[in-house]
Amino acid sequence: MTTTSIVNDVEGLLNTAARLLYHKGDSISLEIIATSKPSIEQVDYDSWNNGVYGYEILLATPAHIFNQIHTNIQEIQNRIQDAVQDVSRQYRNEYIKNIAITCEIVENDEWRTKALELARGKGVTNQGRVRSDNIASKECDGLLFRSHSEIQLYKALKEKGIWIAPLPVFLKGGISYKRIEPDGVAPAKPDTLRLLMRG
């Protein structure tokens, strides 16, 4: 049993939980822990055994990531909670009762101006944002990417003056609806395009 308090060990607790999730192959939950701003508050108490304290950890997640996971948020919270609870068993008379993923609140005095610009189409793209199984959490030049290697490829093609469309979305309508989100699209020949996709 550790003699420190969970309240003082939140970063260490999440760090260890992240390692557990990594070894389980849960990259989505790992991404949430790594990109969020955590806070902790007491939400439960029992007088048994000189007092038992229950806590909730809030993971404030950037809006562009939160938007990609909101349909699966309960499942992701449960996976993170399982990992955190596995680690927190070593704390005496303290435990993690709940994990809650929230959208990060960002203060900005010019938010109304920026909101109007977005409403009028400035900065709006058709980049893939809804795949909660592969979050696009990286950003460069106002565009979203899923990995640093994608950013490096984008910069290299941009420097060479080659057209590149990072994370575009292709839709096939009709009865056999299909959605494809390649990592990028670049011209292979003057009249053809090459899809850039990971294997």
Model confidence over 137-180: pLDDT tens digits? 787 877 888 888 888 888 888 888 888 888 777 777 666 667 77
What DSSP character marks residue 2?
B
DSSP 59-111: EEE-HHHHHHHGGGHHHHHHHHHHHHHHHHTTBTTEEEEEEEEEEPP---TTH
User: Is the pLDDT assigned to residue 130 strictly greater than 90?
Assistant: no
Q: What is the mean pLDDT of residues 117-132?
A: 61
% residues pLDDT > 70 (the chain): 82
Residues 61-73: tens digit of each pLDDT: 998 889 888 888 9
Sign of CA dihedral 29, 34, 39, 44: positive
**Strands 52-61 and 94-103, bridge-based pairing:** parallel
- Length of the chain equals 199
Domains contained in the chain, CATH given? 6-103 (3.30.300), 124-196 (no CATH)
Residues 6+ apart with CB under 8 A from 139: 64, 145
- Is the overall model pTM greater than 0.85, yes or no? no
User: Is the pLDDT assigned to residue 1 strictly greater than 80?
Assistant: no
